[in-house]
């Protein structure tokens, strides 16, 4: 039996995003000091923003358009994180192997988000009009 999802923390996509953002945080600690306010800051912000937007989407499930919008924001942040990963590799701040693993994890996260966007009916709360009458 599948585990009941009661908060955004229970979503597999959230857990995967959170764990990967923490991995990026640890790896980015070794980035050069001159990158503190550019690449380091950007990759940390975008990776964390995936989770923040997922949490917001979860709370907006009453409103399908808002739910989808926040999921779309999370998807965009995941794609942005992939761009920063590419820069980190080109600048030789990340090893190619670890970058590939993280990049592929973001591919999975994006696939999961797109699935949620394409099938919001699974996630959106539906109001029963009969109960309000």
Tell me, what CATH number does 89's domain have?
1.20.1440.60
Compute the average pLDDT of residues 107-128: 93
Evaluate if residue 2 carries a pLDDT over 70.
no
Please indicate, yes or no, if residue 97 is contained in any of the structural domains: yes
Query: How many structural domains comprise the chain?
Result: 1
Q: 103 versus 2: which is more confidently predicted? A: 103
Burial 73-98 (b: 16+ CB within 10 A, else e): bbbbbbbbbbebbeebbeeebbeeee
Range of the domain at 102: 11-120
What distance in Å separates the CA atoms of residue 14 and residue 20, rounded to the nearest whole number? 10
Q: How many CA atoms lie within 13 A of 23 on its CB side?
A: 16
Evaluate if residue 131 carries a pLDDT over 50.
no
User: Cβ–Cβ contacts within 10 Å for residue 118, how many?
Assistant: 11
Please indicate, yes or no, if residue 100 is contained in any of the structural domains: yes
What pTM, to 2 d.p., does this model score? Answer: 0.91
Please indicate, yes or no, if residue 86 is contained in any of the structural domains: yes
Please indicate, yes or no, if residue 27 is contained in any of the structural domains: yes
Provide, rounded to the nearest whole percent, the portion of the chain with pLDDT above 90: 89
pLDDT band at residue 128 under the 50/70/90 scheme:
low
Please indicate, yes or no, if residue 49 is contained in any of the structural domains: yes
What distance in Å separates the CA atoms of residue 67 and residue 73, rounded to the nearest whole number? 10
């Amino acid at each position: 039996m599948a585990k009941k999802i009661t908060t955004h923390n229970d979503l597999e996509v959230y857990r995967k995003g959170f764990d990967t953002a923490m991995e990026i945080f640890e790896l980015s600690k070794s980035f050069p000091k001159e990158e503190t306010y550019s690449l380091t800051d950007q990759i940390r912000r975008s990776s964390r923003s995936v989770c923040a937007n997922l949490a917001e989407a979860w709370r907006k499930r009453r409103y399908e358009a808002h739910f989808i919008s926040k999921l779309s924001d999370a998807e965009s942040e995941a794609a942005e994180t992939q761009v920063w990963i590419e820069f980190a590799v080109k600048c030789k701040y990340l090893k190619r192997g670890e970058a590939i693993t993280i990049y592929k994890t973001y591919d999975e996260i994006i696939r999961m988000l797109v699935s949620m966007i394409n099938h919001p009916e699974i996630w959106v709360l539906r109001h029963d009009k009969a109960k309000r009458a």
